[in-house]
A and B are shown apart, each in its own frame.
Chain A
Amino acid sequence: MKILMLGWELPPNNSGGLGVACLNLSKALAKDGADIDFVVPYLADHSNIKFMNVLSATNLDPLFRFGGGAYNSEMISERIIPNITIPDSTPDMMSIRDVQKSYINFIEKYLLEFKPDLVHAHDWLTFEAGVLAKKNFGIPLIAHVHATEYDRSGMNGGNPLVHEIEREGLVLADKIFAVSNATKNLIHEKYQIPSEKIDVVYNSLDENFLKSNYEFRRDSYPYLKKMKEKGYTIVSTVGRFTIQKGLTHFLRAAKLALEKNPKLIFLFAGDGEEKNELVRLAADLGISKNVIFTGFIRGKKLRDIYSISDVFVMSSISEPFGLTALEAAHHGDVLILTKQSGVSEILRSAFFYDFWDEEKLANEILTVAGSESLQKTLKNNIKNEYQRISWDDVAKQCLSVYNKLR
C-alpha cells in the first residue's frame, strides 16, 4: 500500500514530540508492509532512514521550517504561531505561510506524477496540502491531530487563520486520528466534528529509548549527585517553555513545596519564549537557588536528566499526549501529571492534578519526596503501564483504518 505521509519534521531536526511520533509510526507501518513517501518542508540528510523515502519539499535549511530569518532570535525559540501580518516579506524574514505554500506546490507536483492510496497528514501545518490531495486528486485523507491551535495557545483563542486551516482539514478528512480522548473531545466540541469520525490513536515510547546502548553515570553530575547524597529530591520537567506547559503554576507550586521541605531541587530542561519570565519568577519567589535551568537538551543529556531525577512533572495546561511522560517513566521517575494531559489516560500509577491546583501539586511533590516506599511503589507499578501500547499496536490500528479507506 502506497502512503503519502505529510509531516513537518523528523529527528534530529525536531523540536518536540511530533517528529518522534511521525518517525516511530512510519517505521512500524513500514514493518507491516506500508510503502511510505514522507514529505518534510526542508532539505536535510535523512539517509539513515531506510524504511521509507524522505522527500524534501523545499531546499530550505531545517531551521527555517517555522519561518523566520537567519538572524531572527525567535526562530531559535521555535515559535509555532505564524507571523502572517508582516507586510513585505523579505528573503530573510520569510513567514511560515511561505514555507507552507512551497510545501503545497511540491505536493501538487508530486501528485501529478504519483498516485498514493492514501494521504496521512500530521497537524495543521500540512492539512492544506492534504486537503489539496483530497479535493483535486480524490485521494482519501487522514488528518492526524497531535495538537490543535487551542492547545498551543493555552486554550486562549489562538490564531484564527490556523483554526480555519484546522477546521477545513478536519471537515474534509475521511478519518481523524487524535492522540488522546482529550484531543478527540476537543476536536468534537471546538470544531463540531462528529465523534464517530475520530479515532483515538495513542503514541508510544520512542524506540531509541528501548535500545540498550545507554548507560547513566551519576559521576558525570557531581553537584546533583552530592545534593542527592545530602537528601535532596530532584524534581524535573522537560519541554518547550510556552504558556501551554503551565510552568508558572509549577514554579509557584515549587515555592509552596520548598516552604515545607527545603531539600528539593527543580530542574527545568528546555527553552522557549517563556524562559526569561520563568527565570524572573523564580527570582521573585525567592527560590532561584533551588531551580536549575538547563537550556535545550536532547539525546544522552536528556536521558541523563530523566535518570538523575526522582520525580517528573508534566504541568501542561493542555497536552494532547505528552511523550516525555513515557520517557521519564522509562528512566524510573515518579510521574506527576496534569489531568489535562492525554498521557494521563493510559497511565494509572502516577499522581494527577488540575494544572491550576498549585497546592495539590506541592502536596504531591512533598508526599513523594517524603516517602521512599511510595516512590518504590509508583516506579514499580508504572513499569507495567508505560509500554502497554507499542508502536506496533499503533501501526496495526492505523492499517486497519487504511484498509477500510482505500
Chain B
Amino acid sequence: MRAICLYLHVHQPFRYRAYSIFDVAHNSNYFSEKNYSSKQSNERIFKKVLEKSYRPTFDLLEESLKKNPGFKISFSITGTWLEQAELWAPEIIAQLKRMIKTNRVEIVSETYYHSMSFFYNRDEFISQVELHQKKINQLFGVTPKVFRNTELAYNDSLAKWADDFGFKGILAEGWDKILGWRSPNFVYRPVGTKNLKLLLKNYRLSDDIAFRFSDRKWSQWPLTVEKYLNWVNDGCLNGNLINLFMDFETFGEHQWSETGIFDFLKTFIDSWLKVYDNKFLTVSEACDLMKPVGEISMPETVTWADTERDLSAWRGNSLQDAALPALYSLREKILASKDPALIDDFRKLTTSDHAYYMCTKYWNDGDVHAYFSAYDSPYDAFMYFMNILRDLEFRLSERTS
C-alpha cells in the first residue's frame, strides 16, 4: 500500500481593531471593526477568502469525495474560524456537516483559539483544547482523536501531554535537522510515549504545492500533476505514507485560481487513485494502519513556519515578551469573574496571529511583502494590543470594586 495523508488547516483570527488609548474604559468592542474597508475588518477578509478559497475548494473536495470512494481528507478547523463561518457563511458549515457524514473526512484536534497557550499556561491550553472538542462535537457530532498544535509547534513534552490526554496521534514538521537520515514517510513513536503516533509532514512535497506552485522563478515551474506524481512515487521508495500538510488557503488564496491550482488538485486526486494499491488515508487511519518504525525526540520546539522552523515569529522579541505574558497573567482573575464576554475577549487575544503581527524580523528587513499583517507595522500592532490590555484590566477593576 502507498498512501497519501492530505491534511488542510483552516483558520481565521479575530483581528483586533485600531484600538485607541482613548477607547479604554469607554468602549470594550475590540474585534468588530465597523468600517468594512478597514484592514482589520474580519468580515471583509473572511468574505474575500470565502469567495477566493473556501467556497471553491470545499466544492471541489466535496465533488471529489462523491466521485472517488477512495478519497479521504483531514481538516483542522479553529474555533475562531467556525464562529466567523457561522456568521458569514453558514452554508459552508452545512457543507462540512455533509462531508463529515461520509466518514471520509476527519477533524483534527487543536486549541479553539489557535493560541500558543501551551508555552504560556498549561491550564489555559487544556481549556482551549477542550473547548475546541466541545465545539466540534456540537457542530459535527464527532470527537477528534489526533492532535495538532498551533503552527505545528511541537516538542517532546507536548507529545507526552497528548499521550496522557488519550490522543492516538500527533502532527509535526518532518524537518531534516531532526530526522537526519530518517524519512518522514513513516510513522514514528514520540520518545517517552506509550500509545501516541507521530505523523511527520513531508515538507518538500507539501511546499511544492503550498509555496512554489506558482513561482515562475522556480526551476520546476510549471508544476504538472504528472511531474508531481513522479516525485510522490520517488518518495514512496523510502516509506509508504506521504503526509501532505498545508494551509487550506493554499488553494485559491495563496495560489490563485488563475495559476491552475484547482485543476491541479482535482486531477491529482483522481490520478493518484487510478493506480492500484494507491490510497488516501485520514490522520486516524494512518495512525491505526501504520506501525512506528522508530522513536523520535524533539526536545526543542519545532514548527512548520519559516526557514528557522522555530517559534521566533511568535515569541522572543521584546514586544511579544511584554505583551503576551501580560495577557496571560490576567487569566486567573478573568476566569474568576465568570463573565463570559470578558473570558471570550481574553481568549480571542491569545490567538497566535496577534503575536505574529508584532514580529519585527521581517519588518526590519524592509521587505514589505514578507510582513503579512492587519496593521501598518508591528509597533502599531503592539500599541493597540497594549491598549486593549489596559481596558481588560479596567473591566476587571470595575468588577472587583
Contacts and interface: CB of A to CB of B under 8 A. Distances in A.
- DSSP class of A's interface residues: helix, strand, loop or mixed? helix
Contacts of B366: 348
B376 A352 contact: yes
Interface of B: 20-22, 317-319, 321-322, 360, 363-364, 366, 376-377, 379-380, 382-383, 386-387
Given A348-B377, A351-B377, A373-B322, A367 B364 contact: no
A359 B22 contact: yes
Contacts of B377: 348, 351-352
Given A349-B364, A352-B377, A363 B20 contact: yes
Contacts of A378: 379
Interface string A369-406: 01101101110010011000000000000000000000
Main secondary structure of the interface of B (DSSP, over half): helix
A359 B22 CA distance: 8
A267 to B, nearest CB: 22
A29 to B, nearest CB: 27
Contact of A381 (B321, B364, B382, B383): B364
A144 to B, nearest CB: 25
B322 A348 contact: no
B364 A384 contact: yes
Contacts of B383: 351, 363-364, 367
Given A352-B376, A359-B20, A374 B364 contact: no
Given A348-B363, A373-B319, A256 B22 contact: yes
A139 interface: no
A374 B379 contact: yes
Given A349-B363, A351-B377, A371 B322 contact: yes
Q: Which 4 A-B pairs have the closest CB atoms?
A: A373-B318, A367-B383, A373-B322, A377-B318
A374 B319 contact: yes
B176 to A, nearest CB: 31
A362 interface: yes
A377 to B, nearest CB: 5
A260 interface: yes
Contacts of A348: 363-364, 366, 377
A370 B386 contact: yes
Contact of B387 (A349, A363, A373, A385): A363
A256 to B, nearest CB: 7
- Of the listed residues B317, B379, B383, B387, the one surrounded by the most CB atoms of chain A closer than 10 A to its CB is B379
14 contacts: A260-B21, A349-B363, A351-B377, A363-B387, A364-B383, A367-B382, A373-B318, A373-B321, A374-B318, A377-B319, A378-B379, A381-B360, A384-B364, A385-B364
Contacts of B21: 260, 362-363, 366-367
A377 B317 contact: yes
A363 B366 CA distance: 24
A385 B364 CA distance: 8
A363 B22 contact: yes
A396 B21 CA distance: 46
A367 B386 contact: yes
A330 to B, nearest CB: 18
B29 to A, nearest CB: 17
A351 B384 CA distance: 13
Contacts of A362: 21-22
Given A363-B22, A374-B382, A376-B318, 6 more contacts: A260-B21, A351-B377, A362-B21, A364-B383, A373-B321, A377-B317
A393 to B, nearest CB: 15
A254 B294 CA distance: 64
A263 to B, nearest CB: 15
Contact of A351 (B20, B321, B379, B386): B379
